[in-house]
Structure 1
Amino acid sequence: MKLMRIQEMEEYILTNGTVSLDELCQVFNVSKNTVRRDINKLTEKGAIQKVYGGVTSIEKSALIPFENRTIQNQDEKTKIGHYASRFIEDQDLIFIDSGTTTKSIMDTLDQGRNVTILTNSLDVINAASSLNNVNLLIIGSSYKRKTRSFVGIDDPGTLDKYNINKAFMSSTGITLTHGLTNSDLMEYEIKKKISEKAKEVYLLADHSKFGKSTLLTYAPFKRVDCIVTSKPLDEEYNKFCKEHQIDIHLAQS
């Protein structure tokens, strides 16, 4: 419950810009000491900062609606998704994460491929439903309109039965220290389980995601097998990837 409250508090602050401590106490029905402790956790991430009598948001990227996020860096995201589709082979059981980058995989997926797609993305579901060679499996117990995805797992053992060859993952923020992060607790459950289960993890992320972290780490950076991104990474990422045999592909054409 504490983790959920902190997540909801972060969303509330990012949505409203500047909020007083008294307002947070009233909205979340907790003491001022509890609010201060939660705020200390959030300020460590760098998304908000303290001001006199309250807090203010530094960035709102974590809560940009899906439709607006689709517009941001859209050309880069589309190229990344199209590039990633080349890694899908016959008889693969793949997971395609929800997100504005991963959904573009379906645009260039070879329609002759016989594959099984496991997904919680509404856009991927709609695209895959018309492909005769695709066996479609859907996970997630409730629909989240903001991200056009199904989230939450009623039975923790649901994903254990699937031998996932390749997982194509998105991330709200990526750092060497905090790994692959996102801001939603219910999405986190699926992302974490898939990342642990998959034989290979493909991270699809445009350049703006690197160097940022959000509330929840669903996988350490070293868990990634392949990165498809839009621009060359900083030297610290290149060095880490070389040391841990992580392939880097630039989708620039």
Structure 2
Amino acid sequence: MSSGLNERQQRIVDELKYKGEVKISDLKERFEVTDMTVRRDLEKLEKIGELKRTFGGAILTSKDVALRERSVVRMAEKERIGRKAALLVAPGDSIFIDGGSTTLQVARNLPEHSKITVVTNAINVAAELSERKIPTIVIGGVLIETTNSMVGQVAIESLSRMAFDKAFLGGTGVDPIHGLSNSNMHEAEIKRLAIRKAKEAYVVMDHSKFGASMLFSFATLSDIHAIITDQVPDESLDMACQAADTSVILA
């Protein structure tokens, strides 16, 4: 437990690290306390630099949770999702894989010497593919250290000249109204372009991202072919996927 925090405040910090955002109404119900108590907790956490308060809630001071921290959260679920996604790749495919702890599992589950071409903006994904002797193109750009991803104008210009059979993308949240979202503006821009350049776009995410809406939306549900995940979404999200003709593939 962080120094000076009570158990409730520490749990708020932990949830922020997983989701990137919390809402006062949710915290009030979860901890069975008043609005004022939650607001005091958030005020204290903001003073010590753990979060930034927003209207109705709070976000992480830095919305990018380091990849090394995320990679150990729900690892079994992410491995299953990665295996399921890798099965969708056919010989001869040209695919795009972006940065993230779940997309890394997609790369790890591609068979060695696969007769495909992978384009990626993630250094760790490229390293994994190199070990698996899979032809890989790494796009350049500005490095985001927290996710090992390359972004910016150089990356955008590279992607704009390519086309993919399939794209496999991570996401920080999915919501019926806000769609698929991410906490980093520059990564969201890359995801948005990759979806446009792919015949089929898949988002790989575990169930903890359901109902979360991060700052930057990169796609509506109808923009993508399917969400590959480990649990059936709740009724509202499931119905929204059906209405958008977006499949939910369970791993």
Q: Is the 8 A contact 2:175 2:213 kept in 1?
A: yes
Alpha-carbon deviations, 1:142-195, whole Å to 9, x = none?
Answer: 222211222222374422221111010111111111111112122122111111
Task: Give me the whole-angstrom Cα distance separating, in 1, the residues matched to 2:232 and 2:65.
Answer: 25
Aligned to 2:101: 100
Aligned to 2:34: none
Aligned to 2:196: 196
Alpha-carbon deviations, 1:94-118, whole Å to 9, x = none?
Answer: 0111000010112221224211101
Q: Is the 8 A contact 2:141 2:155 kept in 1?
A: no
Amino acid at match of 2:93: D
Alpha-carbon deviations, 1:111-148, whole Å to 9, x = none?
Answer: 2421110111122100111344x321112412222112
Q: Is the 8 A contact 1:77 1:206 kept in 2?
A: yes
Amino acid at match of 1:243: A
Amino acid at match of 1:234: D
Aligned to 2:127: 126
Structure 1 86/47 Cα, relative in aligned 2: closer, same or farther at 3 Å? farther
Q: Which runs of 5+ in 1 are unaligned?
A: 1-9, 24-37, 49-56
Amino acid at match of 1:250: L
Specify which of 17, 22, 30 is matched with residue 45 of structure 2.
17
Task: Give me the whole-angstrom Cα distance separating, in 1, the residues matched to 2:96 and 2:90.
Answer: 13
Structure 1 61/155 Cα, relative in aligned 2: closer, same or farther at 3 Å? closer
What TM-score, normalized by structure 2, do the two folds share?
Answer: 0.75
Amino acid at match of 2:81: I
Q: Is the 8 A contact 1:153 1:189 kept in 2?
A: no
Aligned to 2:139: 139
| Map 1:77-92 → 2, pairs under 5 A | 77-92=78-93
Shift of 1:217: 0.8
Q: Which runs of 5+ in 2 are unaligned?
A: 1-19, 22-41
Amino acid at match of 1:18: E
Percentage identity across aligned positions? Answer: 32
Q: Is the 8 A contact 1:153 1:190 kept in 2?
A: no
Task: Give me the whole-angstrom Cα distance separating, in 2, the residues matched to 1:219 and 1:195.
Answer: 8
Structure 1 140/211 Cα, relative in aligned 2: closer, same or farther at 3 Å? farther
| Map 1:51-70 → 2, pairs under 5 A | 57=59, 62-70=63-71
Aligned to 2:115: 114
| Map 1:171-186 → 2, pairs under 5 A | 171-186=171-186
What TM-score, normalized by structure 1, do the two folds share?
Answer: 0.74
Q: Is the 8 A contact 2:118 2:137 kept in 1?
A: yes
Shift of 1:17: 3.3
Q: Secondary structure at the residue paired with 1:227?
A: strand
